[in-house]
Amino acid sequence: MRVTFLLVIIAAAIFASLVHTEKSQPTSRGREVLQMETEQDSEFARVDTENSSNLPAGAVELRRHPDGHFYADVEVNGATLQMLVDTGATQIALSREDARSAGLATSIGMPAVVGRGADGDVHGEIATLDSVSLGPKTVEGLSAVVLNSGEQSLLGQSFLSKFDHVKIEGDRMVLR
């Protein structure tokens, strides 16, 4: 099971490459809407804290990125990390750089084998995250894998399952 999980993590990390910036802007009703935008100013995510005609209160809406994936800026241990939303991953997987940003200490070589991939052993470490937040949802004490290689962190089911509803319709994913 762990090998399958790691293979999914590795495959997803290979395909993820674009980075978003985050900005907050008020809407016409004075509430804040979080938007993650690319250089082309396309909206990819929105967190609505009030009722809206097209988004339930407290819901998180993610727009499909041109590479076909959904991304979200997720707060992990107080650090904002751009993560690929991976509904097929069992848990959260962090790149070494994102783990450092989130204040996690890792060993230099990460010698522990946490799975086996197409290229052989996958090295990393198991960590416990103090808190993970996206929109109105905050979860404490989640387990995560910190991978020795790879640049893209993944948001897996250990966090996504805390939402009552995860739905993909066309080019949008709604979490509530």
Sign of the Cα torsion 150, 153, 157, 158 reads positive
Give the pLDDT confidence of 87-123 residue by residue, as tens digits: 988 889 999 999 999 999 888 878 787 766 667 787 8
Give the pLDDT confidence of 5-44 residue by residue, as tens digits: 444 444 444 333 323 333 333 333 333 333 333 333 335 5
pLDDT of residue 88: 86
Dist. CA 109–CA 111, nearest whole Å? 5
Residue 21 CB neighbours (<10 A): 11
Hey, where are the domains in the chain?
2-175
Give me 176's structure tokens. 């509530």
- For 2-175, the fitting CATH number among 3.40.50.2300, 2.60.40.2380, 2.40.70.10, 3.40.50.300 is 2.40.70.10
pTM of the model: 0.71
CA proximity to 51, closest of 41, 59, 43:
59
CA proximity to 13, closest of 103, 113, 118, 105:
118
Dist. CA 24–CA 32, nearest whole Å? 6
